[in-house]
Amino acid sequence: MKMTSAMIDSVHNGSNDYEAGRRLLPHFIDDLAVQDPDRIVARLPKGLRVQDGFQSVTTAQFANAINKAASWFVDVFGKAPESNKMLTYSYVGPHDFRYPILTIGAIKAGYLLFLPSLRNSQAAYESLMDQYECDTLLLPAEPIWRARLRKVIAAKSLRVIEVPELNELLHAEGVQPVEWPMTLEQGRFMPLVALHTSGTTGIPKKVVMTHATFTSIDAQKRLTKPLWHEIYSGGKALMLYPFFHAGGFIAMLTPLAFGCPIILHPPGPPPNAQTIAEIIETEHPTITNITPSPIVDMMNDPQLAPVLDKLTHILSGSGPMPSTVGARVAKQTQFHMLYGSTEIGMPPADLSDPEDWDYMRFQEHSGVEMRPYAEDLVELFIVRRPELDAYQPVFTMFPHLQEYQSRDLFSKHPTQEGLYRFAGRSDDIVAYSTGEKFNPSTVESSLLGHLELKGAIVVGDGRFQSALLVEPSSSSVSEEDIIDSIWPLVETLNKDCPGYAKIMRNMIIVAKPDRPLPRSGKGVVQRRAALSLYAADINAVYNAVDQDQADSSDAPGVASDNDGDLESALLAIARSTDSFGDVSLDSDLFELGLDSLGVLALVRAAKKLSARHKLERVLTATDVYQLRNLRNLAEKLRGKEKDQRPATEKMQELYEQLIADMAMTARPAASMPLQKVMLLTRSTGSLGSYLLNKLLQNPNISRVVCLGRSADAETRQHRSMAEKGLITDFGVGKVQFLHAQLSKPYLGLPLEVYRELLENVTHVVHNAWQVNFLASWEEMTPQVHSVRGLTDFSTQSRHGARIFFVSTIGAVGALRTIKGVEVPEQIVEDWSAGGNMGYGQSKLVAERLLVAAAKEAMVPSIICRVGQVAGPTISKDWVPVDVMARSMVELCLHTSPSKDGPAVYHTVNAHKADWADLVPFLEKRLELRTVSLQEWVRLLLASDVSDATHNPAARLGDFFQNIANQNADESALSVLSSVSARKISPTLASLKAIDVELMDLWLRQWGLVT
Q: Which residue has the higher pLDDT, 311 or 118?
A: 311
pLDDT, residue 988, reads 87
The letter for the amino acid at 543 is N
Q: Give yes or no for a contact between 688 and 679, defined as CB atoms under 8 angstroms apart.
A: no
Q: Is the dihedral of CA 513, 516, 517, 521 positive or negative?
A: positive
Of 347, 285, 355, residue with least CA distance to 326: 355
CB atoms within 10 A of CB 96: 18
pLDDT, residue 879, reads 66
Give the separation between CA 432 and CA 380, rounded to whole angstroms: 24
Q: Tell me the pTM.
A: 0.54
E strand map for 832-945: 861-866, 869-870, 879-880, 903-907
The letter for the amino acid at 389 is D
Q: Reduced to 3 states, what is the DSSP secondary structure of residue 371?
A: strand
The winner for highest mean pLDDT among 9-18, 873-882, 980-989 is 980-989
First vs last C-alpha separation in the chain: 40
Of 388, 380, 386, 325, residue with least CA distance to 357: 325
**Overall fold of domain 674-682+750-965+972-1010:** Rossmann fold (3.40.50)
Q: Quick one: which H or E segment has residue 404?
A: strand 403-412
Instruction: List the single range of 104-113, 329-338, 649-658, 708-717 with lowest mean pLDDT.
Output: 708-717
Q: Give yes or no for a contact between 483 and 489, defined as CB atoms under 8 angstroms apart.
A: no
Q: Quick one: which H or E segment has residue 208?
A: strand 206-210
Instruction: List the single range of 344-358, 658-672, 705-719, 963-977 with lowest mean pLDDT.
Output: 963-977
Confidence of residue 561 (pLDDT cuts 50, 70, 90): very low
Q: Give yes or no for a contact between 995 and 840, defined as CB atoms under 8 angstroms apart.
A: no
CA atoms within 13 A on the CB side of 206: 22
- The answer for residues whose C-beta is within 8 angstroms of residue 488's C-beta and 6 or more apart is none
Report whether pLDDT(708) > 60: yes
For the chain, give every domain's residue range. Answer: 429-525, 549-644, 674-682+750-965+972-1010
pLDDT, residue 445, reads 84
Q: Is the dihedral of CA 273, 276, 281, 284 positive or negative?
A: negative
Confidence of residue 878 (pLDDT cuts 50, 70, 90): low
- Quick: pLDDT tens for 439-465: 788 888 889 888 889 899 999 876 767
Q: Averaged over 843-870, what is the pLDDT? A: 87
pLDDT, residue 834, reads 84
Confidence of residue 623 (pLDDT cuts 50, 70, 90): confident
Confidence of residue 972 (pLDDT cuts 50, 70, 90): very low
Q: What distances in angstroms separate CA 715 from CA 40, 370, 426, 710, 928, one per listed residue?
A: 50, 11, 15, 10, 39
Give the separation between CA 44 and CA 267, rounded to whole angstroms: 10
Q: Give yes or no for a contact between 381 and 406, defined as CB atoms under 8 angstroms apart.
A: yes
Chain mean position to CA 667 = 50
Q: Give yes or no for a contact between 832 and 810, defined as CB atoms under 8 angstroms apart.
A: no
- The answer for residues whose C-beta is within 8 angstroms of residue 43's C-beta and 6 or more apart is 54, 55, 56, 57, 236, 261, 262, 263, 264, 283
Give the separation between CA 77 and CA 75, rounded to whole angstroms: 6
Q: Averaged over 6-18, what is the pLDDT? A: 38
pLDDT, residue 296, reads 86
| Percentage above 70 pLDDT, the chain | 86
- Quick: pLDDT tens for 165-187: 999 999 999 999 999 999 998 99
Complete DSSP assignment for 546-604: HHHHHHGGG-S---SS-TTHHHHHHHHHHHHTT-SSS--TTS-TTTTT--HHHHHHHHH
Q: Quick one: which H or E segment has residue 472?
A: strand 467-472
- The answer for residues whose C-beta is within 8 angstroms of residue 772's C-beta and 6 or more apart is 625, 779, 838, 839
Of 410, 498, 499, 482, residue with least CA distance to 447: 482
Of 780, 768, 783, residue with least CA distance to 836: 780
The winner for highest mean pLDDT among 393-407, 602-616, 868-882 is 393-407
Q: Give yes or no for a contact between 449 and 324, defined as CB atoms under 8 angstroms apart.
A: yes
The winner for highest mean pLDDT among 380-394, 534-548, 707-721 is 380-394
The values of phi and psi at residue 91, to 5°, are -120, 135
Of 134, 138, 91, 395, residue with least CA distance to 242: 91
Q: Classify residue 223 by its DSSP letter.
A: B
- Quick: pLDDT tens for 230-246: 899 899 999 998 999 88
The values of phi and psi at residue 477, to 5°, are -95, 135
Starting at the earlier edge strand, list the strands of the sheet with 420-425.
368-374, 377-383, 403-412, 420-425
What angle do helix axes 933-942 and 957-966 make, rounded to 10 degrees?
150
Q: Give yes or no for a contact between 658 and 849, defined as CB atoms under 8 angstroms apart.
A: yes
**547: exposed, middle or buried (C-beta count within 10 Å: 0-12, 13-18, 19+)?**
exposed
E strand map for 618-719: 676-681, 701-708
Taking all residues of the chain, what is their mean pLDDT, rounded to a whole number?
Answer: 83
- Quick: pLDDT tens for 285-327: 999 999 888 898 899 889 999 999 999 999 998 777 878 889 9
Q: Averaged over 502-522, what is the pLDDT? A: 86
Q: Classify residue 244 by its DSSP letter.
A: T
- The answer for residues whose C-beta is within 8 angstroms of residue 547's C-beta and 6 or more apart is none
Radius of gyration of the chain (CA): 33
pLDDT, residue 434, reads 47
Domain spanning 549-644, CATH architecture: Orthogonal Bundle (1.10)
pLDDT, residue 11, reads 36
- Where helices occur in 495-534 by DSSP H, the ranges are 527-533
What is the assigned CATH class of domain 429-525? alpha beta
Give the separation between CA 483 and CA 481, rounded to whole angstroms: 5
Q: What distances in angstroms separate CA 15 from CA 32, 36, 233, 923, one per listed residue?
A: 11, 10, 13, 68
Report whether pLDDT(8) > 50: no
Give the separation between CA 142 and CA 148, rounded to whole angstroms: 11
Number of H helices, E strands in the chain: 36, 33
Of 200, 749, 766, 743, residue with least CA distance to 521: 200
